Amino acid sequence: MPPRLSITRLSKSFAGTRALAEVSLEVAAGELRVIAGENGAGKSTLIRILSGVFGDYAGEIRIDGEGQRLTSPERAMRAGVATIHQELSLVGALSVSDNLLLYRRGHALAPVDGEREREQAARVLAEMGLDIAPETLVERLSLADRQLLEIARALTRKAKLLILDEPTSALSAAEAERLFERLATVRAAGTSVLYISHRMDEIFRLADRITVLRDGRCVLESGRDETTPHELVGALLGREKRVAPPRQVTAPSAARLEVRALRAKPLVDAAFAVRPGEIVGVAGLSGSGAEALMSALFGAVRPEHAEIRLDDAPYYPESPAAALARGVAFAPGDRGLGVFQELDVVANATLSSLERYCRFGVVNRSSERADVARESERFALKAAGPGAAASSLSGGNQQKLVLIRCLLTEPRLLLLDDPTRGVDIGAKHDVYAALEELADSGVAILLRSTELDELTTVCDRILAVTRGRICLELARSEFDRERLLAALMGAAA
Ligand SMILES: Nc1ncnc2c1ncn2[C@@H]1O[C@H](COP(=O)(O)OP(=O)(O)OP(=O)(O)O)[C@@H](O)[C@H]1O
Ligand SMILES: [Mg+2]
């Protein structure tokens, strides 16, 4: 039997960038192959070719032995490829059930049977464990629910090859678990899976085999049991990982941010403080109130009640602009909200700090560029140049760009919502080092993350939010994964 997928010397260049260079691989029916690699290594490029987004590739693709020219998304679908892209593709203004059936309806000549469609949609949602009414508008869903919906939609297509580009980056552990169960079923039915991930635990749990890309080339292919996380990281980075020693904090007593009472649905009552030089973590599942906390502090949502002080003056942000004016910067976790695709790297980076580069209405381009160059180097931002459009950056590099924009505002208080979502393991440590450096210079940082390891690595203190309340607060010396998890699941007394 020919392999399910066979790729021979696949290459793709963008003006000046070799994104993929003569990659060959074979995937068996029912196999789950992890594709790993640093930000910008070529992972999304590979899967975009397979899903017909880039028709102008060089090389050969065979599915079940049959040669394919995947020159359009329709062709890829007909060849049996279903893809969940890194950037979601649901239509916000349509209902959940319309989104689920969008593709099928577009291709069927049969008249629409509303009742049957509703039933079908309800069944798909139930299989994915999603408790959403089919008529809900997608724009009203949380990021996690949208991700699960996108996955559910792809699973309805009975594909030969299912491709997932960082599917769990916005999911909680429990939601990811549901996805893994569904993947097992799909594979048992013979569907092969290409799975892109930056998460080591996930990679070693799910993979049959692992392929590592670096600078567009395949640098390692191995069975899961023939390699180790250590070897994998070495192959990913082409160097050893640096691990910084934990930081010593001597937090001064006066609070930078003092939340005395904050109510913002579903957050019922929050009270806590962040001092200059401190990194305080916020842990919370989606819907717990943790996201609401961040949005309210940045003025993106109006709290029902707020008694907040910033450097001992009243703080009640009416809007993100008002928050910025007070020295509060925010990096959203959904980079779709943070990056302006048509603007170039420099314009994206300095968007929130332009007045610093302006004198008498004229922008000082050279100092603007110098600052962006310095920050880009710090985060190892991979882009064709400062004038490259943000849309030409890989997903993880777009996320780094959002962070750079925040830092260039020279904030007093930095609010971060899942800042390393989609950032590779090497760059993650660059981000952590940058946060620690900032904290050392006196910035107060509030960091929400869906990754507990991230919180325990960089934070001085962690607040756990469950059902709208801060139910547990741990200092660094008390960090305990089990206790945190229990608190997040609502099991702690
Ligand atoms: N549309 C485009 N125009 C120009 N360059 C591009 C385009 N898409 C990707 N590239 C470049 O190709 C290279 C590979 O990008 P790709 O998106 O495949 O990376 P990736 O491995 O998916 O990274 P990440 O983990 O950050 O998602 C990068 O250098 C990127 O800047
Ligand atoms: Mg990518």
Q: Is 97 in the pocket of ligand 1 (CB under 6 A)?
A: no
Q: Which residue has the higher pLDDT, 107 or 297?
A: 297
Residue 350's pLDDT band (boundaries 50, 70, 90)? very high
Q: Is 42 in the pocket of ligand 1 (CB under 6 A)?
A: yes
Residue with tokens 């960091």: 447
Q: What is the pLDDT of residues 27-86, one digit of tens each?
A: 999 999 999 998 899 999 999 999 999 999 999 999 999 999 999 999 999 999 998 887
* pLDDT exceeds 90 at position 445: yes
| pLDDT of 246 | 60
DSSP 404: H
Separation of alpha carbons 157 and 138, rounded Å: 20
Q: Please give the backbone phi and psi of residue 361, each rounded to the nearest 5 degrees, phi first.
A: 80, 5
Residue 243's pLDDT band (boundaries 50, 70, 90)? low
Q: Which residues touch 236 (CB under 8 Å, ≥6 apart)? A: 36, 37, 38, 41, 212, 214, 424, 425, 426
Q: Which amino acid is at 42?
A: G
Residue count of the chain, please give it. Answer: 493
Residue whose Cα lies nearest atom 3 of ligand 1: it is 392
Bridge pairing between strands 444-449 and 413-417: parallel
Bridge pairing between strands 461-466 and 279-283: parallel
| Same domain as 170, residue 42 | yes
* pLDDT exceeds 50 at position 322: yes
Out of 179-193, 264-278, 283-297, 353-367, the most confident range is 264-278
Please tell me the distance between residue 331's alpha carbon and the centre of ligand 2 in angstroms. 19
For a pocket test of ligand 1, which of 45, 197, 425 has the largest count of ligand atoms closer than 8 A to its C-beta? 45
What is the CATH number for 300?
Answer: 3.40.50.300
| Element (DSSP H or E) covering residue 186 | helix 173-188
Q: Please give the backbone phi and psi of residue 290, each rounded to the nearest 5 degrees, phi first.
A: -65, -40
Q: Which atom of ligand 1 is nearest to the CA of 86?
A: 27
**Residue 312 Ramachandran class (φ > 0 left, ψ -120 to 50 alpha, else beta):** left
| Same domain as 282, residue 153 | no
* pLDDT exceeds 50 at position 492: no
Q: What is the pLDDT of residues 77-119, one digit of tens each?
A: 999 999 888 776 677 778 887 777 765 544 444 455 667 777 8
For a pocket test of ligand 1, which of 11, 35, 44 has the largest count of ligand atoms closer than 8 A to its C-beta? 44
Residue whose Cα lies nearest atom 16 of ligand 1: it is 42
Task: Tell me what the pLDDT averaged over the chain comes to.
Answer: 87
**Is 401 inside a domain boundary?**
yes
Q: From residue 102, how far is each of 96, 183, 447 by CA, in Å?
A: 10, 22, 37
DSSP 473: E
Residue whose Cα lies nearest atom 2 of ligand 1: it is 392
Tokens of 200: 């080591």
**Is 332 inside a domain boundary?**
no
| Same domain as 162, residue 72 | yes
Separation of alpha carbons 228 and 159, rounded Å: 31
* pLDDT exceeds 80 at position 21: yes
Q: Could you say which of 220, 237, 254 is where a domain stops?
A: 237
Q: Is 209 in the pocket of ligand 1 (CB under 6 A)?
A: no
Separation of alpha carbons 132 and 136, rounded Å: 7
| Same domain as 141, residue 53 | yes
| Same domain as 434, residue 392 | no
Question: To 10 degrees, what angle do helices 143-155 and 114-127 make?
Answer: 110
| Same domain as 100, residue 20 | yes
* pLDDT exceeds 70 at position 129: yes
| Same domain as 458, residue 401 | no
* pLDDT exceeds 70 at position 256: yes
Residue whose Cα lies nearest atom 22 of ligand 1: it is 44
Percent of all residues in the chain with a pLDDT value above 90, rounded to a whole number: 49
Quick check: 275 and 311 in contact, CB under 8 A? no
Q: Which atom of ligand 1 is nearest to the CA of 399?
A: 26
Rounded to two decimals, what is the model's pTM? 0.74
Quick check: 312 and 412 in contact, CB under 8 A? no
Residue whose Cα lies nearest atom 17 of ligand 1: it is 394
Radius of gyration (C-alpha) of the chain in whole angstroms:
23
* pLDDT exceeds 70 at position 337: no
**Is 334 inside a domain boundary?**
no
| pLDDT of 252 | 62
Q: What is the pLDDT of residues 190-211, one digit of tens each?
A: 999 999 998 888 999 999 999 9
Kindly identify the ligand whose nearest atom is closest to the C-alpha of 423.
Answer: 1
Q: Which atom of ligand 1 is nearest to the CA of 198?
A: 25
Kindly identify the ligand whose nearest atom is closest to the C-alpha of 400.
Answer: 1
| Same domain as 58, residue 127 | yes
| pLDDT of 315 | 96
DSSP 168: T
Which of 46, 44, 49 minimizes the C-alpha distance to 68? Answer: 49
| pLDDT of 135 | 85
| pLDDT of 493 | 39
Please tell me the distance between residue 393's alpha carbon and the centre of ligand 1 in angstroms. 5
| pLDDT of 79 | 94
Residue whose Cα lies nearest atom 29 of ligand 1: it is 40
Residue whose Cα lies nearest atom 24 of ligand 1: it is 39
Separation of alpha carbons 58 and 409, rounded Å: 43
Which of 327, 337, 356 minimizes the C-alpha distance to 414? Answer: 327
Please tell me the distance between residue 18's alpha carbon and the centre of ligand 1 in angstroms. 9
Separation of alpha carbons 67 and 412, rounded Å: 57
| Element (DSSP H or E) covering residue 291 | helix 290-297
Average pLDDT of span 334-358 = 85
* pLDDT exceeds 70 at position 288: yes
Which of 395, 382, 412 minimizes the C-alpha distance to 339? Answer: 395
Kindly identify the ligand whose nearest atom is closest to the C-alpha of 382.
Answer: 1
Q: Which residue has the higher pLDDT, 142 or 379?
A: 379
Average pLDDT of span 118-133 = 81
**Is 333 inside a domain boundary?**
no
Cis peptide before 266 (omega within 30 of 0): yes
| Same domain as 433, residue 405 | no
Quick check: 416 and 291 in contact, CB under 8 A? no
Q: Could you say which of 185, 210, 237 is where a domain stops?
A: 237
Number of domains making up the chain: 3
| pLDDT of 153 | 81
| Same domain as 253, residue 230 | no
Residue 219's pLDDT band (boundaries 50, 70, 90)? very high
Could you tell me where the DSSP H helices lie in 302-458? 320-325, 335-338, 345-350, 354-357, 365-378, 395-408, 425-440, 452-458
**Is 205 inside a domain boundary?**
yes
Q: From residue 378, how far is each of 16, 129, 256, 368, 375 by CA, in Å?
A: 23, 41, 26, 16, 5
| Same domain as 310, residue 345 | no
**Residue 446 β-bridge partners:** 280, 415
Q: Which amino acid is at 69?
A: R
Residue 420's pLDDT band (boundaries 50, 70, 90)? confident
**Is 276 inside a domain boundary?**
yes
Tokens of 129: 């464990």
Exposed / middle / buried, residue 43 (Cβ in 10 Å: 0-12, 13-18, 19+): buried
Residue ranges making up the domain that contains 393: 339-410
Please tell me the distance between residue 399's alpha carbon and the centre of ligand 1 in angstroms. 13
Q: Is 19 in the pocket of ligand 1 (CB under 6 A)?
A: yes
Tokens of 84: 């969940």
Percent of all residues in the chain with a pLDDT value above 70, rounded to a whole number: 92
